[in-house]
Amino acid sequence: MNDIRRTILWVIFGFSMVLLWDQWQLFNGHKATFFPSPVASTAAPAAKAASAAGVPTPVPQAGVNAVPATSVPGAAPVATLPGALPATTPSATKERVVVNTDVLSVTFDTEGGTPVHSSFLKHKDMTDQSAGFVLLDQSAARVYVAQSGLIASAAGGSFPTHKTLMTAVPGERTLKDGEDSLDIKFESADVGGIKLVKTYTLKRGVYDMAVRHDVINTGTAAASPQLYLQLVRDGNKPPGESSFYSTFTGPALYTEAQKYQKVEFSDIEKNKVDVEKRSTNGYVAMVQHYFASAWMLADGVQRDIFLRKVDTNLYAVGMITALGEIAPGTTKTMEAKLFVGPQIEKQLEAIAPGLELVKDYGWLTILAKPLYWLLDKLHGFLQNWGWSIVALVVLLKAAFYWLNAKAYASMAKMKAVNPKIMEMRERLKDKPQEMQQAMMKMYKDEKVNPMGGCFPILIQIPVFIALYWVLLSSVEMRNAPWILWIKDLSSPDPYFILPIVMTFTTMLQTALNPTPPDPMQAKLMWFMPLIFSVMFFFFPAGLVLYWITNNVLSIAQQWVINTRMGVPPQFNLPKFK
């Protein structure tokens, strides 16, 4: 019975890990891990799409909110699209303006006053440590921009959009020492009797910027434009992301009613988007591993939410809000907020309600958030993320000490009676019914519960899976060193030392258990942990460190408990003959 139980547990554990992994991949919008399919994309379509990100279809004031139509480059002149303008105006020249703070560098294009490139000074590129990580980008290889502009209401009209050339107002472009904020302003020409002025305010130490849209009616008649805010991105995976721990990449949105909702690019492609389309709160976002961008409006402002395919391998998520009637000679102002940065949980919580959810822990958020909080507190004391991981696992093992003690005590009892069980199996192998009755009597006489070691371990599994997600999702691990050769806890061990140690500790755990008499069970006992260990050669070093620490502490506790119960630890090596 002991052998059967152990074999079943190993099989369930192995298949559970495989199924959990694949379901996690599917949950995050990916193909199965072990049979990944390449993303169909090329640089040429991306470059083509970069110049043709469409203007959203006007949303009627009554709130009809169908997914906006796609604008296909070459199908019609840009000027024929709702709210679009010719690509040139006589009052401005297209140029790019670079603005720098202490943590962020943003490049704005005067076509629409649009942020088209961003790099983070404190988060380096994985392949070039001298350069900051690039999130927003508009190049031949990638498209990822944050756009805003005006479209007409049901009454019609043409107003400044993100395709309208604007003039950058002269001013400071670098945040100076002693200053806390920096403004950059873009002004459009008069289009349809409306002038749009965008003012971006970047602040010291943060990645969100205030964006003020001043809509000035320079005409002789009242106008009722609508403001749109959208994030446009290609459907490619972030460069260099491993298929062994891919996380979600794509649009997301949050409202108080429906909470956090992720949308796969494939669902937009198939027009199978089912999200809340009207709200007075929340945000829209583009999410990828470690980083995100998001547009936010103030709570109470009515907005229509849209997701759409803009062009080949190019997608948009955004909001449209009505500005109401603007009388001639008056100005209507709409404040918005744009976040472009790393998923630092404490900063996200301070920016907007629910924004911290872009750091996605999946269905174990309720456990993951307190684990991250504790990990962050440990780091504040230890000042090293690697040692913080070790300390957190030690604390978790201490918290579950008595549960583990019960499990290992039950396993020790099973190990003590195992020789009798093996002798009985051999003696009664031709009488299965009598053997089963004799085994049950022996368990009763010896006061052994065959399943006593399972339940305490099962209770802990969600906690350690949640910790796994915390370590996988936390941008703090990126470029964070531990000791000696481990310079980045978010990347695999360059010399495979940690995976080898992890494999050794896993095999040591297996060797501490008695060898089943059935050769097939014995093989499974050794093959399953070996197969499982192979995956760790591709895992980030921080995850492998956490698992090694857990293994070592488990071995130590099992060793102590077995010794106390008079069951001397014994290594049982495999016999596959």
- Label each residue of 292-307 as H, E or C: EEEEEECCCCCEEEEE
Handedness of CA 504, 506, 507, 509 (dihedral sign): positive
pLDDT over 90 for what percent of the chain?
A: 48
Domain extents for the chain? 43-60+70-234+248-357, 373-564
In which order are the strands placed within the sheet that holds 278-279?
137-138, 143-151, 226-234, 314-322, 303-311, 278-279
Residue-averaged pLDDT of the chain: 79
| 439 three-state secondary structure | helix
Phi, psi at 270, each rounded to 5°: -90, 5
Residues 407-411: contacts with CB within 8 Å, 24+ apart?
Answer: 407/452, 407/453, 407/454, 407/455, 407/456, 407/457, 408/453, 408/557, 408/558, 408/561, 408/562, 409/452, 409/561, 409/565, 410/448, 410/449, 410/452, 410/453, 411/453, 411/513, 411/558
- Label each residue of 412-424 as H, E or C: HHHHHHHHHHHHH
Average pLDDT of the residues in 455-464: 73
Average pLDDT of the residues in 398-402: 80
Residue with the bigger pLDDT between 110 and 425: it is 110
Average pLDDT of the residues in 142-166: 90
**Residue 208: C-alpha distances to residues 122, 152, 299 (Å):** 15, 28, 17
Q: Cα Rg for the chain, rounded, in angstroms?
A: 30
Confidence (pLDDT) at 138: 94
Q: How far is CA 248 from the centre of its chain?
A: 5
Work out the pLDDT band at 55, boundaries 50, 70, 90: low
Average pLDDT of the residues in 298-321: 95
Work out the pLDDT band at 557, boundaries 50, 70, 90: confident
Asked if the model's pLDDT at residue 448 lies above 90, the reply is no
Residue with the bigger pLDDT between 35 and 447: it is 447
Phi, psi at 166, each rounded to 5°: -125, 165
Asked if the model's pLDDT at residue 267 lies above 90, the reply is yes
Confidence (pLDDT) at 409: 65
Asked if the model's pLDDT at residue 114 lies above 70, the reply is yes
Work out the pLDDT band at 30, boundaries 50, 70, 90: very low
Phi, psi at 326, each rounded to 5°: -115, 115
Angle at 532 between CA 524 and CA 452, to 5 degrees: 60
| 285 three-state secondary structure | strand
Q: What pTM did the predictor assign?
A: 0.79
Q: What is the tens place of the pLDDT at every residue in 494-524?
A: 899 999 998 888 888 777 765 555 556 666 6
Q: How many CB atoms lie within 10 A of CB 260?
A: 19
- Label each residue of 466-535 as H, E or C: HHHHHHHHCHHHCCCCCCCCCCCCCCCCCCCHHHHHHHHHHHHHHHCCCCCCCHHHHHHHHHHHHHHHHH
Give the best-scoring range by mean pLDDT among 30-39, 146-155, 433-442: 146-155
Q: Give the closest residue to 122 by CA, choosing from 104, 135, 98, 100.
A: 104
Q: Give the closest residue to 317 by CA, choosing from 298, 300, 303, 333.
A: 303
Q: What is the tens place of the pLDDT at every residue in 156-211?
A: 678 999 999 999 999 999 999 999 999 999 999 999 999 999 999 999 999 999 99
Farthest-apart Cα atoms in the chain, separation: 104
Average pLDDT of the residues in 478-491: 90
Average pLDDT of the residues in 530-553: 85
Q: What is the tens place of the pLDDT at every residue in 345-382?
A: 999 999 999 999 999 887 888 899 999 999 999 999 99
Q: How far is CA 319 from the centre of its chain?
A: 22
Residue with the bigger pLDDT between 459 and 480: it is 480
Asked if the model's pLDDT at residue 240 lies above 90, the reply is no
Going by CATH, does the domain composed of 43-60+70-234+248-357 fall within 3.90.550.10? no
- Beta strands, E only, 30-131: 96-100, 104-109, 114-124
Confidence (pLDDT) at 31: 47
| DSSP code per residue over 324-350 | --B-TT-EEEEEEEEEEEE--HHHHHH
Asked if the model's pLDDT at residue 83 lies above 50, the reply is no
